[in-house]
């Protein structure tokens, strides 16, 4: 065997470990179906560097990991959606098609020996006309895709957060109750109790009742009464 030989299995394991460690260093993002759409909540003190973004009429994107990497993916997704909607029909732009595009990009980068894997994890959400038609797709650094239901948690202490949020979650949960549950769950993996203020949060929804463009981002002043239960 040549000196310095490393098996393909070990190379892939090392690349996966590298990506997972980078993702785990970031603060978590939670995506949750609620009574009137899909809710996105992230602990993010920055007002400019968003983890949650609109992609198209009924599509949104949430990510954790390295900002420059998932921002490149977001831009690619917007361009793909715009091109497909312009070339065919706006109804042809779907969450499934976007998730497949991201899966191909991430899978190609992960299996390539010429560059490091992306340190990102992504959720693509599509809000439907009814709750039964909502779609959540979770994509990992290696291009794997999972069709999720109800709640998706990425980054940080994802296991602890997911365990806490599922205790109080139900499919028809109202927006305010869902937001408070999500925010309280984001601190589940912390060693000491703490409260996350409105100005430390990034919150958005895909609201199925809105005409065509369903994405809406919340300002701090809008969050405060919801967090207070008013």
Which CATH code is given to the segment(s) 8-13+27-228?
3.60.20.10
Q: Is 60 exceeded by the pLDDT of residue 1? A: no
Which tokens belong to 26? 């970031």
Query: Predicted confidence band at 68 (pLDDT cuts at 50, 70, 90)?
Result: very high
Q: Is 60 exceeded by the pLDDT of residue 147? A: yes
Query: Predicted confidence band at 189 (pLDDT cuts at 50, 70, 90)?
Result: confident
Mean pLDDT of 51-75: 95
Least confident of 95-109, 133-147, 177-191: 177-191
The ranges assigned to domains in the chain are 8-13+27-228
pLDDT at 178: 95
Mean pLDDT of 111-130: 90
């Amino acid at each position: 065997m040549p000196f310095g030989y490393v098996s393909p299995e070990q190379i892939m394991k090392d690349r996966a470990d590298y990506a997972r460690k980078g993702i785990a260093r970031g603060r978590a993002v939670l995506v949750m179906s609620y009574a009137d759409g899909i809710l996105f909540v992230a602990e993010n003190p920055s007002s400019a560097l968003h983890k949650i973004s609109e992609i198209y009429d009924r599509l949104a994107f949430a990510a954790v990991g390295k900002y420059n990497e998932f921002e490149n993916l977001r831009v690619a997704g917007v361009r793909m959606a715009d091109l497909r909607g312009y070339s065919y029909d706006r109804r042809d732009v779907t969450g499934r098609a976007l998730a497949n595009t991201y899966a191909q990009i991430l899978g190609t980068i992960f299996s390539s020996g010429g560059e490091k894997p992306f340190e990102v994890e992504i959720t693509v959400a599509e809000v439907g006309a009814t709750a039964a038609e909502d779609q959540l797709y979770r994509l990992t650094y290696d291009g794997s895709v999972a069709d999720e239901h109800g709640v998706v948690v990425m980054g940080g202490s994802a296991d602890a957060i997911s365990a806490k949020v599922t205790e109080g979650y139900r499919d028809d949960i109202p927006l305010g109750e869902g937001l408070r549950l999500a925010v309280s769950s984001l601190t589940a993996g912390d060693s000491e109790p703490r409260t996350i203020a409105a100005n430390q949060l990034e919150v958005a929804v895909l609201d199925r009742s809105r005409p065509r463009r369903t994405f809406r981002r919340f300002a701090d002043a809008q969050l405060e009464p919801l967090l207070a239960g008013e």
